[in-house]
């Protein structure tokens, strides 16, 4: 679960599979520049993908990828960030069967290759009135 609840809640939380009720997370992932995580995905190797939402600060939104087993204060193994990425308040992140990274932003949907890093342009960029997208909070892939 990504958290965006204010100071002290800039984190990714994981609970045991059988958790229920008022249970503390078994794993918490933090990263100093991470201020608001709206979407989280996990790939088949256990890497954790986090959609960092900075409320539209140009070039500041990001996709952080943490290594399998990351816990506590962690440094991402991969960061997609910068104005060329066209990330704009990323609400959701999802992975397709080929390992591509799909992101639902405030006004578009985009895709990056799984190995993308840095200030790179998306491979797929879906935006405009005909798309009917307006704040796609979730991305589902088949």
pTM of the model: 0.90
Per-residue pLDDT, 128: 78
What is the reported pLDDT for 129? 81
- pLDDT tens for 10-62 read 889 999 889 999 999 999 999 988 888 988 999 999 999 999 988 778 789 99
Kindly report each contact of residues 80-84 with a partner whose C-beta sits within 8 Å and lies 24 or more positions away, as own/partner.
80/112, 80/116, 80/117, 80/118, 80/120, 81/52, 81/118, 81/119, 82/118, 82/119, 82/120, 83/58, 83/59, 83/119, 84/119, 84/120, 84/121
């Amino acid at each position: 679960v990504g958290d965006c609840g204010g100071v002290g809640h800039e984190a990714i939380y994981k609970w045991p599979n059988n958790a229920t009720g008022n249970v503390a997370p078994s794993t918490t992932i933090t990263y100093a520049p991470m201020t608001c995580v709206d979407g989280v995905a996990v790939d088949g190797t256990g890497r954790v993908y986090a959609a960092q939402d900075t409320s539209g600060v140009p070039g500041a939104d990001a996709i952080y990828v943490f290594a399998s087993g990351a816990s506590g204060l962690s440094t991402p193994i991969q960061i997609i960030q910068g104005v060329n990425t066209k990330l704009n308040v990323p609400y959701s992140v999802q992975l397709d069967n080929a390992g591509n990274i799909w992101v639902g932003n405030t006004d578009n949907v985009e895709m990056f290759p799984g190995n993308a890093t840095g200030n790179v342009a998306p491979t797929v960029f879906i935006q405009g009135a005909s798309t009917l997208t307006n704040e796609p909070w979730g991305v589902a892939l088949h």
